[in-house]
Amino acid sequence: MRIGILGLGRIGAFHAETLSGLDAVESLVLTDPFTDAAKSAAERFGGEVVDSPEALLAAGVDGIVVAAATDAHPGLILAGVDAGIPVFCEKPVAKTMAEGVQVLKAVEGTDVPIQIGYNRRFDAGFVAARAAVQSGELGKLHTVRSTTLDPAPPPAGYIAASGGIFRDCSVHDFDIIRWVTGREVVEVYAVGGNRGADYIKEAGDADTTGAILTLDDGTIAVVSNSRHNARGYDVRMEIHGFTDSIAVGLEDKLPLRSVEPGVTFPAGTPHDFFMDRFTAAYRAELTAFTEVVAGTRPSPCTIADALEAGWIADACTLSLHEHRPVTIAEVRTA
């Protein structure tokens, strides 16, 4: 099949590399407002460069990958749907939840599949955790802990356009909690502060946060996030039930150092970036998209799924600013 990629920045180029190695993908078509970025990706991974999204959609592509700036996501999703071409779009769906809802309403009733990029759903550990929960082997759940700690903060320009730590970083925890547990979040209480870079505070954002989520069955989920984890990129989940407890990310590259006498685990070199931690998950995610394009599976992460994680992020932002619990119903507009 022939796949088009719109946006060849860091993640777009990474997707180009991944797609170029998939058996199902025969050729790539690339476009970016910065032509040199598209040409560089084409030189490294192969592909035809075109000068606009319109030219890409007219180039006989079977599916498109939207990795452009967030502001462009709604228009490119709708352009793909209007052309009858399956769409993979990096999160978020749109810059605001209101825009995301507009996109959802605009595509209601279409038979053109749309997949949103929440890659943890394709990580082997999280897949196994979901299966364990679904099988009932853990018993009734009581506590979930989810952690995402970045090794260093993004640059100031990224922070200013990110929508805040809950929408940019924690949203991955929110999505995977929903997916692994099969439950919905009904209420949140969030706290946060600034422990490092002044530019994050100046942007009105926090660099270190914690959130307590109440799920619809009474399970409590605790989410921890920070931009300052110098030892490495740390993504983990613990799931505790009345029968058993399991962990995702408890492996030799875990960026923690035990101080227990005689304990050497973990001993590996820590993950230093999300692309390192989730290389296999990204490959599985895009493999799934080729199956969506081929019509052999439905979208594994829909716009509606992405919006649910977004509502949780918005509720946490409101909770942080107003120092109170916030229900998802309070922030939901659709």
In a domain, 62, yes or no: yes
Same domain, 77 and 44: yes
Shared domain for 238 and 168, answered yes or no, is yes
Which domain-ending residue is among 65, 86, 112? 112
Same domain, yes or no, for 105 and 144?
no
SS3 167: helix
- Tell whether 288 is covered by a domain: no
Judge whether 60 lies within some domain: yes
Question: Can you give the residue range of the structural domain that contains 98?
Answer: 2-112
CATH of the domain at 86: 3.40.50.720
Q: Which one of 73, 92, 112 terminates a domain?
A: 112
Quick one: which of 109, 58, 63 has its CA closest to 86?
A: 63
Question: Is 51 part of a structural domain of the chain?
Answer: yes
Q: Between vectors from CA 90 to CA 84 and to CA 91, what angle results, nearest 5°?
A: 115
Tens digits of per-residue pLDDT, 169-183?
Answer: 999 999 999 999 999
Do the domain assignments include residue 284? no
Examine the domain organization and report whether 128 and 244 are in the same domain.
yes
> How far is the CA of 136 from the CAs of 30, 141, 293, 310, in angstroms?
45, 9, 33, 28
Q: Does residue 98 belong to any structural domain of this protein?
A: yes
- pLDDT at residue 334 tops 70: no
At 112-160, the pLDDT tens digits run 999 999 999 999 999 999 999 999 999 999 999 999 999 999 999 899 8
pLDDT value of position 284: 98
The answer to whether residues 132 and 253 belong to one domain is yes
User: Does 172 share its domain with 80?
Assistant: no
Looking at the structure, tell me whether residues 143 and 198 fall in a common domain: yes
The answer to whether residue 333 scores a pLDDT higher than 80 is: no
Number of structural domains in the chain? 2
Domain boundary among 89, 112, 135: 112
Residue 146: CATH number of its domain: 3.30.360.10
Tell whether 136 and 230 lie within a shared domain: yes
For residue 312, give Cα distances in angstroms to 14, 47, 176.
28, 38, 12
**286 located within any domain:** no
Q: Is the pLDDT of residue 197 over 90?
A: no
318 and 238 in a common domain? yes
166/260 same-domain check = yes
Length of the chain: 334
Interior/surface letters 153-167, b for 16+ CB within 10 angstroms, e for the rest: bbeeeebeebbbbbb
Based on the domain organization, do 43 and 82 belong to the same domain?
yes
Do residues 208 and 314 share a domain? yes
Average pLDDT, the chain: 96
